[in-house]
Amino acid sequence: MVILRDDERIARMRRLSQYTSLLGIAALLGGMVIAFTNPERFFVYELLALMAGWLLSQVGVYLGHRYIRSPRPDEALDKEVRRVARNGRMYHYLLPAPHVLLLPQGIVIFIAKFQGGKISVTNDKWRQTGLGFLNMRKLFGGESLGNPSKEAQAMLGSMASYLQKHAPSVEEVPMAAVVVFTSDGTQEIDVNSASVPVVHYKKLRGFLRQQWQKGGPAPLSTADYEAIRAAFDQKASHLLEIQAEDEAE
């Protein structure tokens, strides 16, 4: 499997996560110092410092889960997908959707979620429970699960628009999204009714075999596949040039 990953972006986002987290802590400490020294005189500054610290810490947490957490979402996906999609091309942080797999049969978009505990979904309404003490962390900056179904629909729309613009000759292509939980702390996934498939990353290989190999769509025409590949590789041209130089050496 060919893996194309924007490592420069990952490194940049890692640094940004670290800087915003440190600035957030500094702002929160500054607000606390003001609160204990002269709160009446500097109340507005105290409030601004605490708000800025909280917002910066939220940005740091958001980026940290995606670019610092080990394994990162892209690493967890690569580990499982490469074993079953040897003829695939994986694009990380290059296209409108962060994690996209191009197969001879079509396109798979991965909605990576790190949340642990017990995950349940009924009629596209998502819940996260069974966190115990970690529930307190959610109150103080932990990122909520949100609605992966809506995220999937948004990313499918973004990718469709991208293809219409960059591969207009392709009239129709099988394209699907799948929500993948990449944390070993995810204890249980209970899917009652969802508009998008949901799997733990350790079961991703079986899902891909079943949905895209054994009973999946027919292979794309050579012209359509090459048009899509060219449209995707356009965003990874700098990476492909580096690979070509390394192979030449």
Please list the pLDDT of the chain residue by residue as tens digits (249 residues). 999 999 999 999 999 999 999 999 999 898 888 878 876 777 888 888 889 998 998 899 889 989 998 889 999 999 999 989 999 999 999 999 999 999 999 999 999 999 888 999 999 999 998 766 555 555 445 678 999 999 999 999 999 999 999 999 999 999 999 999 998 877 789 999 999 999 999 999 999 999 887 778 899 999 999 999 999 999 998 888 766 555 545
Contact criterion met (CB below 8 Å) for 190 and 120: yes
Report the Cα–Cα distance between both ends of the chain, in Å, rounded.
22
Residue 137 has what pLDDT? 52
Domain locations along the chain: 2-67, 73-248
pLDDT over 90, % of the chain: 67
Q: Residues 29-61: pLDDT tens digits?
A: 988 888 788 767 778 888 888 899 989 988 998
Task: Confirm whether pTM is higher than 0.85.
Answer: yes
Residue 129 has what pLDDT? 87
Contact criterion met (CB below 8 Å) for 74 and 92: yes
Residue 244 has what pLDDT? 56
Residue 133 has what pLDDT? 52
Q: What is the mean pLDDT of the chain?
A: 89
Residue 84 has what pLDDT? 93
Question: Which tokens go with 34?
Answer: 């003001």
